[in-house]
Protein backbone atom coordinates (compact mmCIF):
# COMPACT_ATOMS: atom_id res chain seq x y z
CA UNK A 1 0.00 0.00 0.00
CA UNK A 2 1.33 3.51 -0.80
CA UNK A 3 0.02 6.88 0.26
CA UNK A 4 -2.31 6.73 -2.73
CA UNK A 5 -5.02 4.58 -1.15
CA UNK A 6 -8.60 5.32 -0.07
CA UNK A 7 -7.64 6.40 3.43
CA UNK A 8 -5.00 8.85 2.17
CA UNK A 9 -5.73 9.76 -1.44
CA UNK A 10 -3.00 12.43 -1.71
CA UNK A 11 0.51 11.89 -3.03
CA UNK A 12 3.89 12.44 -1.39
CA UNK A 13 6.62 13.92 -3.60
CA UNK A 14 10.11 14.32 -2.11
CA UNK A 15 13.19 16.22 -3.30
CA UNK A 16 16.54 14.76 -2.33
CA UNK A 17 20.24 15.28 -2.93
CA UNK A 18 23.36 16.55 -1.21
CA UNK A 19 23.88 20.07 0.06
CA UNK A 20 23.64 22.91 -2.45
CA UNK A 21 22.22 20.85 -5.34
CA UNK A 22 19.18 23.13 -5.65
CA UNK A 23 16.44 21.47 -3.58
CA UNK A 24 15.12 24.74 -2.10
CA UNK A 25 15.27 26.46 -5.49
CA UNK A 26 13.42 23.68 -7.27
CA UNK A 27 10.82 22.91 -4.62
CA UNK A 28 9.34 26.34 -5.30
CA UNK A 29 9.13 25.41 -9.00
CA UNK A 30 7.43 22.06 -8.23
CA UNK A 31 4.87 23.71 -5.92
CA UNK A 32 3.99 26.39 -8.47
CA UNK A 33 3.75 23.83 -11.31
CA UNK A 34 1.26 21.73 -9.31
CA UNK A 35 -0.75 24.72 -8.03
CA UNK A 36 -1.14 26.05 -11.57
CA UNK A 37 -2.95 22.80 -12.37
CA UNK A 38 -5.44 23.43 -9.57
CA UNK A 39 -4.14 21.07 -6.88
CA UNK A 40 -3.93 21.70 -3.17
CA UNK A 41 -0.18 21.59 -2.43
CA UNK A 42 1.48 21.42 0.98
CA UNK A 43 5.13 22.44 0.86
CA UNK A 44 7.28 21.26 3.73
CA UNK A 45 10.76 20.11 4.72
CA UNK A 46 12.77 17.78 6.91
CA UNK A 47 14.12 17.91 9.47
CA UNK A 48 11.29 20.21 10.52
CA UNK A 49 7.97 21.08 8.95
CA UNK A 50 6.05 21.83 12.18
CA UNK A 51 6.98 24.16 15.08
CA UNK A 52 8.13 21.33 17.37
CA UNK A 53 9.92 19.48 14.58
CA UNK A 54 11.68 22.74 13.65
CA UNK A 55 12.97 22.94 17.25
CA UNK A 56 14.44 19.47 16.78
CA UNK A 57 15.99 20.65 13.49
CA UNK A 58 17.80 23.41 15.38
CA UNK A 59 19.31 20.81 17.73
CA UNK A 60 20.42 18.73 14.75
CA UNK A 61 22.04 21.54 12.76
CA UNK A 62 23.52 23.63 15.60
CA UNK A 63 27.31 23.71 15.07
CA UNK A 64 27.92 25.35 18.48
CA UNK A 65 29.08 23.75 21.69
CA UNK A 66 31.97 21.55 22.73
CA UNK A 67 29.88 18.39 23.17
CA UNK A 68 29.66 16.36 19.94
CA UNK A 69 26.27 14.93 18.95
CA UNK A 70 26.40 11.13 19.14
CA UNK A 71 25.50 9.42 15.83
CA UNK A 72 22.70 7.37 17.46
CA UNK A 73 21.32 10.51 19.12
CA UNK A 74 21.37 12.19 15.69
CA UNK A 75 19.48 9.29 14.11
CA UNK A 76 16.86 9.22 16.87
CA UNK A 77 16.39 13.00 16.69
CA UNK A 78 15.85 12.75 12.92
CA UNK A 79 13.13 10.17 13.51
CA UNK A 80 11.62 12.06 16.44
CA UNK A 81 11.23 15.11 14.20
CA UNK A 82 9.83 12.88 11.43
CA UNK A 83 7.25 11.27 13.73
CA UNK A 84 5.98 14.71 14.73
CA UNK A 85 5.97 15.96 11.14
CA UNK A 86 4.16 12.92 9.73
CA UNK A 87 1.51 12.88 12.47
CA UNK A 88 0.81 16.60 12.53
CA UNK A 89 1.24 17.65 8.92
CA UNK A 90 1.93 15.01 6.28
CA UNK A 91 -0.75 12.41 7.09
CA UNK A 92 -3.59 14.93 7.58
CA UNK A 93 -2.70 16.51 4.22
CA UNK A 94 -2.56 13.14 2.43
CA UNK A 95 -5.85 12.11 4.04
CA UNK A 96 -7.63 15.14 2.59
CA UNK A 97 -6.14 14.47 -0.86
CA UNK A 98 -3.40 17.12 -0.99
CA UNK A 99 -0.12 16.80 -2.84
CA UNK A 100 2.66 17.03 -0.25
CA UNK A 101 6.02 18.25 -1.54
CA UNK A 102 8.81 17.67 0.97
CA UNK A 103 12.42 18.95 0.87
CA UNK A 104 14.24 15.78 2.06
CA UNK A 105 12.59 12.76 3.72
CA UNK A 106 13.45 9.12 4.50
CA UNK A 107 16.10 8.71 1.76
CA UNK A 108 18.18 11.44 3.43
CA UNK A 109 18.38 9.26 6.54
CA UNK A 110 19.71 6.28 4.60
CA UNK A 111 22.22 8.54 2.80
CA UNK A 112 23.42 10.71 5.73
CA UNK A 113 23.00 8.56 8.85
CA UNK A 114 23.38 5.25 7.01
CA UNK A 115 26.14 5.69 4.41
CA UNK A 116 27.53 9.00 5.76
CA UNK A 117 27.70 8.12 9.47
CA UNK A 118 27.94 4.35 8.99
CA UNK A 119 24.85 3.30 10.96
CA UNK A 120 23.57 -0.17 10.01
CA UNK A 121 20.75 -0.16 7.47
CA UNK A 122 18.73 -2.64 9.55
CA UNK A 123 18.55 -0.17 12.44
CA UNK A 124 17.31 2.60 10.16
CA UNK A 125 14.81 0.21 8.56
CA UNK A 126 13.41 -0.70 12.00
CA UNK A 127 12.84 2.97 12.85
CA UNK A 128 11.40 3.58 9.38
CA UNK A 129 8.84 0.83 9.93
CA UNK A 130 7.98 2.14 13.39
CA UNK A 131 7.57 5.79 12.42
CA UNK A 132 6.28 5.55 8.83
CA UNK A 133 4.44 2.22 8.80
CA UNK A 134 3.58 1.75 5.14
CA UNK A 135 3.94 5.43 4.18
CA UNK A 136 6.58 5.93 1.46
CA UNK A 137 7.11 8.71 -1.11
CA UNK A 138 5.21 8.22 -4.36
CA UNK A 139 7.85 10.10 -6.33
CA UNK A 140 11.38 11.16 -5.38
CA UNK A 141 13.25 13.74 -7.46
CA UNK A 142 16.96 13.15 -6.83
CA UNK A 143 19.05 16.18 -7.80
CA UNK A 144 22.48 14.77 -8.49
CA UNK A 145 25.77 16.54 -9.15
CA UNK A 146 29.43 16.48 -8.20
CA UNK A 147 29.79 17.21 -4.50
CA UNK A 148 32.71 19.59 -5.14
CA UNK A 149 30.67 21.84 -7.43
CA UNK A 150 27.71 21.75 -5.03
CA UNK A 151 30.07 22.73 -2.21
CA UNK A 152 31.15 25.82 -4.17
CA UNK A 153 27.50 26.85 -4.42
CA UNK A 154 27.11 26.51 -0.63
CA UNK A 155 30.35 28.37 0.18
CA UNK A 156 29.50 31.19 -2.23
CA UNK A 157 26.45 31.99 -0.06
CA UNK A 158 28.90 33.09 2.65
CA UNK A 159 26.65 31.93 5.52
CA UNK A 160 27.90 30.14 8.67
CA UNK A 161 28.14 26.38 7.97
CA UNK A 162 25.82 24.08 9.94
CA UNK A 163 26.87 20.73 11.54
CA UNK A 164 26.41 18.84 8.26
CA UNK A 165 27.84 21.46 5.92
CA UNK A 166 30.97 21.50 8.08
CA UNK A 167 31.84 17.85 7.21
CA UNK A 168 34.82 16.78 5.08
CA UNK A 169 34.59 16.03 1.33
CA UNK A 170 34.60 12.23 1.86
CA UNK A 171 31.35 12.49 3.78
CA UNK A 172 29.60 14.20 0.85
CA UNK A 173 30.98 11.68 -1.65
CA UNK A 174 29.57 8.88 0.52
CA UNK A 175 26.20 10.64 0.79
CA UNK A 176 26.02 11.04 -2.98
CA UNK A 177 26.81 7.35 -3.49
CA UNK A 178 24.21 6.45 -0.89
CA UNK A 179 21.53 8.36 -2.78
CA UNK A 180 22.49 6.89 -6.15
CA UNK A 181 22.42 3.35 -4.77
CA UNK A 182 18.90 3.88 -3.45
CA UNK A 183 17.79 5.39 -6.75
CA UNK A 184 19.12 2.39 -8.67
CA UNK A 185 17.34 -0.02 -6.35
CA UNK A 186 13.96 1.74 -6.80
CA UNK A 187 13.89 3.10 -10.37
CA UNK A 188 10.07 3.32 -10.42
CA UNK A 189 9.98 5.76 -7.52
CA UNK A 190 13.10 7.82 -8.27
CA UNK A 191 13.78 10.28 -11.08
CA UNK A 192 17.49 11.18 -11.14
CA UNK A 193 18.12 14.67 -12.54
CA UNK A 194 21.42 16.26 -13.54
CA UNK A 195 21.52 19.22 -11.14
CA UNK A 196 24.67 20.69 -12.73
CA UNK A 197 22.72 21.80 -15.80
CA UNK A 198 21.49 25.40 -16.10
CA UNK A 199 18.45 25.95 -13.88
CA UNK A 200 15.97 26.22 -16.76
CA UNK A 201 17.10 22.83 -18.11
CA UNK A 202 16.79 21.22 -14.67
CA UNK A 203 13.28 22.64 -14.35
CA UNK A 204 12.29 21.49 -17.82
CA UNK A 205 13.29 17.95 -16.83
CA UNK A 206 11.35 18.23 -13.58
CA UNK A 207 8.26 19.39 -15.49
CA UNK A 208 8.55 16.38 -17.84
CA UNK A 209 8.72 13.98 -14.90
CA UNK A 210 5.75 15.65 -13.18
CA UNK A 211 3.69 15.60 -16.39
CA UNK A 212 4.28 11.87 -16.80
CA UNK A 213 3.57 11.04 -13.13
CA UNK A 214 0.40 13.13 -12.96
CA UNK A 215 -0.92 11.24 -15.98
CA UNK A 216 0.04 7.93 -14.42
CA UNK A 217 -1.78 8.91 -11.21
CA UNK A 218 -4.84 10.13 -13.13
CA UNK A 219 -4.39 13.62 -11.69
CA UNK A 220 -3.63 15.68 -14.81
N1 LIG B 1 19.51 15.47 7.27
C2 LIG B 1 19.94 14.24 7.74
O3 LIG B 1 21.13 14.10 8.11
N4 LIG B 1 19.07 13.20 7.80
C5 LIG B 1 17.78 13.31 7.42
O6 LIG B 1 17.03 12.33 7.48
C7 LIG B 1 17.34 14.58 6.92
C8 LIG B 1 18.23 15.62 6.86
C9 LIG B 1 15.91 14.73 6.49
C10 LIG B 1 19.63 20.01 6.54
O11 LIG B 1 19.11 19.86 5.27
C12 LIG B 1 20.53 18.87 6.90
O13 LIG B 1 19.78 17.81 7.48
C14 LIG B 1 21.19 18.26 5.70
C15 LIG B 1 21.15 16.75 5.92
C16 LIG B 1 20.46 16.58 7.24
N17 LIG B 1 22.51 18.77 5.67
N18 LIG B 1 23.28 18.90 4.74
N19 LIG B 1 24.13 19.08 4.04
P20 LIG B 1 18.87 21.09 4.31
O21 LIG B 1 18.10 20.53 3.17
O22 LIG B 1 18.27 22.24 5.01
O23 LIG B 1 20.38 21.49 3.91
P24 LIG B 1 21.11 21.64 2.59
O25 LIG B 1 21.07 20.49 1.69
O26 LIG B 1 22.45 22.06 3.05
O27 LIG B 1 20.26 22.79 1.85
P28 LIG B 1 20.84 23.90 0.99
O29 LIG B 1 22.25 24.19 1.31
O30 LIG B 1 19.88 25.02 1.13
O31 LIG B 1 20.87 23.31 -0.47
P32 LIG B 1 19.76 23.19 -1.59
O33 LIG B 1 18.42 23.56 -1.04
O34 LIG B 1 19.87 21.89 -2.23
O35 LIG B 1 20.24 24.26 -2.65
P36 LIG B 1 19.66 25.71 -3.00
O37 LIG B 1 19.69 26.62 -1.78
O38 LIG B 1 18.38 25.62 -3.74
O39 LIG B 1 20.77 26.15 -4.06
C40 LIG B 1 22.08 26.45 -3.67
C41 LIG B 1 22.62 27.61 -4.54
O42 LIG B 1 22.77 27.16 -5.88
C43 LIG B 1 21.68 28.81 -4.59
O44 LIG B 1 22.47 29.97 -4.62
C45 LIG B 1 20.95 28.63 -5.93
O46 LIG B 1 20.56 29.86 -6.49
C47 LIG B 1 22.01 27.96 -6.78
N48 LIG B 1 21.49 27.06 -7.81
C49 LIG B 1 20.46 26.17 -7.68
N50 LIG B 1 20.30 25.49 -8.85
C51 LIG B 1 21.23 25.95 -9.71
C52 LIG B 1 21.58 25.62 -11.06
N53 LIG B 1 20.93 24.68 -11.76
N54 LIG B 1 22.63 26.27 -11.61
C55 LIG B 1 23.31 27.20 -10.90
N56 LIG B 1 23.03 27.58 -9.64
C57 LIG B 1 22.00 26.95 -9.04
On whether residue 3 sits in a domain, the answer given is no
Residues near 140 by beta carbon (within 8 Å), at least 6 away in sequence? 13, 14, 15, 16, 105, 107, 183, 186, 189, 190, 191
Supply the pLDDT for residue 1: 45
Shortest-distance Cα residue to atom 48 of ligand 1: 22
Residue ranges around ligand 1 (CB below 6 Å): 17, 19-25, 46-47, 78, 103-104, 108-109, 112-113, 153-154, 157, 164-165, 198-199, 202
**What are the contacts of 58-65 at 24+ separation with CB within 8 A?**
60/163, 61/162, 61/163, 61/164, 62/162, 62/163, 63/160, 63/161, 63/162, 63/163, 63/166
Residue 207 vs residue 64, higher pLDDT: 207
Q: Say whether pLDDT at 156 is over 70.
A: yes
Supply the pLDDT for residue 49: 98
Supply the pLDDT for residue 123: 98
Which of 60, 86, 53, 65 is CA-nearest to residue 75?
Answer: 60
Supply the pLDDT for residue 3: 57
Q: Say whether pLDDT at 72 is over 50.
A: yes
Q: What's the domain range around 40?
A: 11-217
**Average pLDDT of the chain to the nearest whole number:** 94
pLDDT band of residue 2 (cuts 50, 70, 90) is low
Shortest-distance Cα residue to atom 27 of ligand 1: 19
Q: Say whether pLDDT at 166 is over 90.
A: no
On whether residue 2 sits in a domain, the answer given is no
On whether residue 5 sits in a domain, the answer given is no
Number of compact structural domains in the chain = 1
Which CATH number is 194's domain given? 3.40.50.300
Amino acid sequence: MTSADKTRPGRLITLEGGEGVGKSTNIAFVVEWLQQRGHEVVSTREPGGTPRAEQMRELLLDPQGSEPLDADAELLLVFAARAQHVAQKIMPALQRGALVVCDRFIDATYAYQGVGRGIETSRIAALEQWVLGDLRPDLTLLLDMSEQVARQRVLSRGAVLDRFEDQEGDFFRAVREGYLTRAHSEPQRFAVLDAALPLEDVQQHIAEVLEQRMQQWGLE
